[in-house]
Amino acid sequence: MEHMVQAVDPFVFRLSIFVLAVFVGYFVVWSVTPALHTPLMSVTNAISSVIVVGALLAVGVSLVGDDNGPLWARGFGFVALIFASINIFGGFLVTQRMLAMYKKKQK
């Protein structure tokens, strides 16, 4: 008698990973002391530049032969590129203002 093993649906698998990541992220960020919260968020904004690389790939790289990929993929890639760019530049501005607070004033 054969034993059939069914694989988990990829959508359910990815959704469960996403939910676990949300819980882990929530508890990691909220367990940080308030003094370190702003630098943590600034580094998180800088790390999000990886999204820009993925968005550039979705927008500009030819996926199959001479085809540029589906229109919806390029559209979502463009939107991700815009949002990630805003996030990165905003993170750098917040970091710059935060570091300016700790600069000694000249008398």
pLDDT of res. 94: 78
Within the chain, which residues score under 50 in pLDDT? Answer: 64
Give per-residue burial for 62-97: e unless 16+ CB within 10 Å, then b.
Answer: eeeeeeebeeeebeebeebbeebeebbeebeeebee
- Would you tell me the crossing angle of helices 34-47 and 49-60 to the nearest 10 degrees? 20
pLDDT of res. 1: 59
pLDDT of res. 44: 72
Is pTM beyond 0.85 here? no
**Burial class (CB within 10 angstroms; exposed 0-12, middle 13-18, buried 19+) of 46:** middle
Q: Residue 99 corresponds to which tokens in the numbers above? A: 């570091």
